[in-house]
Structure formats: structure tokens, C-alpha cells
């Protein structure tokens, strides 16, 4: 990413990453690294693609940053299958408590686990984040945790072939 884009990306995410609630994600394990770093990686990919295609990149980047904004403590009453499906709703609730979201941002967070979550992506930006998230997850699993990779590949491919306007 160019220096200008790096500055702009950092400007967009600064307000959120500086909040103590978001800083908590540094202690949460996710794909073998911290959920904080996973969220930044997904936000960066979303920023890069949505800016390139002249989409609503500022709002999309902020929502992508918050797509997994939850703690393991909040998920402790759910088994791993339920947590997989339900965490977008929890992330959405947490994100709404952190800052005001528009409809696009709500959809990005709620639908990022498509096709296993309740909500479907309704905007191109939401399709971008849901695909970037799976691409990043595959990368992180290969790099930090070799298990679960096949399942995410299947979701990734299904996501690509399900793209609609
Ligand atoms: Fe997620
Ligand atoms: Fe994620």
C-alpha cells in the first residue's frame, strides 16, 4: 500500500482503534493471532478494494474493522458452532454501542459470515468484506493455524459464486 493510502487508512481507523473497548481485542485469540490484528487486516483489505472501485470506502473500512468486535467472554455460553453463526449479531450490537452506524455498516457487520449467518450482504461493500474476511482467515489459518482451512475455502468459494447485485 502506498504511503498516502497508509496515512489515509490510519486516519480512518484511528478513532476506533484508540478506544479502550477495541483495545481489548488485543487479548482475544483469533485464528492463532489476536482478534485486534485480524480486524485490522480485514479493514485494510476492505479499504484497498473499496477505494480502488470508488465505493463508500470510509464507512466500509470502519465497519470491516468492527466486523468481529466481540470478546470470548461474551460468547462463553455458546458452543463453537453457535458462536460461528451468531457472533456477527453480537459484533453488530457492540459496534452500535461504540459508535453510530449507517445501514451499509450494519449490513457489512451482520452479513460478514455469509452464508452461515442470518443476514445476507446487500451492498457491494458488504460482499467485499465478507470475501476479504474469508481470504484473510485462510491466510491466517495457513500461517498461524493449519486446521479448519478446508471449511473456510468452501465458504469462500460459495461466497464468490453467490455474488449478486
Ligand atoms: Fe467473524
Ligand atoms: Fe473475521
Q: What is the pLDDT of residues 18-65, one digit of tens each?
A: 999 999 999 988 877 899 999 999 999 999 999 999 999 999 999 999
- How far apart (Å, rounded) are the C-alpha atoms in residues 17 and 9? 12
Distance CA 122, CA 139 (A): 26
Q: Which residues pair with 30 in a beta bridge?
A: 33
Q: How confident is the model at residue 146 (pLDDT cuts 50, 70, 90)?
A: low
> How much distance in Å is there from the Cα of 127 to the middle of ligand 2?
13
How far, in Å, is the centroid of ligand 2 from the Cα of 5?
22
CA 34 to ligand 1 centroid distance, Å: 13
Distance from residue 8's CA to the centre of ligand 1 (Å): 25
Q: 112 CA distance to ligand 1 centroid (A)?
A: 6
Give residue-wise pLDDT tens across range 105-116.
999 999 999 999
pLDDT tens by residue, 66-124 = 999 999 999 888 888 888 889 999 999 999 999 999 999 999 999 999 999 889 999 99
Sign of CA dihedral 94, 55, 111, 36: negative
pTM of the model: 0.88
Ligand index nearest the alpha carbon of residue 137? 2
Ligand with smallest separation from the Cα of 83 = 1
| Full set of structural domains in the chain with CATH | 3-161 (1.10.3210.10)
- Going from the Cα of 87 to the center of ligand 1, the distance in angstroms, rounded, reads 6
Among all bound ligands, the one having the nearest atom to the CA of 112 is 1
Q: What is the 20 CA–ligand 2 centroid distance (Å)?
A: 20
Amino acid at each position: 500500500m502506498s504511503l498516502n493510502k497508509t496515512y489515509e487508512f490510519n486516519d480512518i481507523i484511528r478513532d476506533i482503534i484508540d478506544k479502550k473497548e477495541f483495545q481489548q481485542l488485543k487479548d482475544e485469540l483469533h485464528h492463532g493471532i489476536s482478534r485486534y490484528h485480524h480486524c485490522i487486516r480485514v479493514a485494510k483489505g476492505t479499504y484497498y478494494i473499496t477505494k480502488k472501485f470508488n465505493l463508500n470506502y470510509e464507512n466500509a473500512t470502519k465497519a470491516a474493522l468492527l466486523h468481529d468486535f466481540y470478546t470470548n467472554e461474551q460468547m462463553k455460553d455458546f458452543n463453537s458452532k453457535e458462536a460461528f453463526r451468531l457472533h456477527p449479531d453480537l459484533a453488530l450490537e457492540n459496534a452500535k454501542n461504540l459508535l453510530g452506524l449507517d445501514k451499509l455498516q450494519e449490513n457489512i457487520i451482520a452479513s460478514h459470515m455469509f452464508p452461515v449467518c442470518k443476514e445476507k450482504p446487500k451492498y457491494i461493500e458488504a460482499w467485499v468484506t465478507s470475501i476479504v474476511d474469508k481470504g484473510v482467515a485462510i491466510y491466517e489459518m495457513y500461517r498461524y493455524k493449519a486446521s479448519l482451512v478446508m471449511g473456510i475455502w468452501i465458504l469462500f468459494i460459495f461466497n464468490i459464486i453467490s455474488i449478486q447485485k
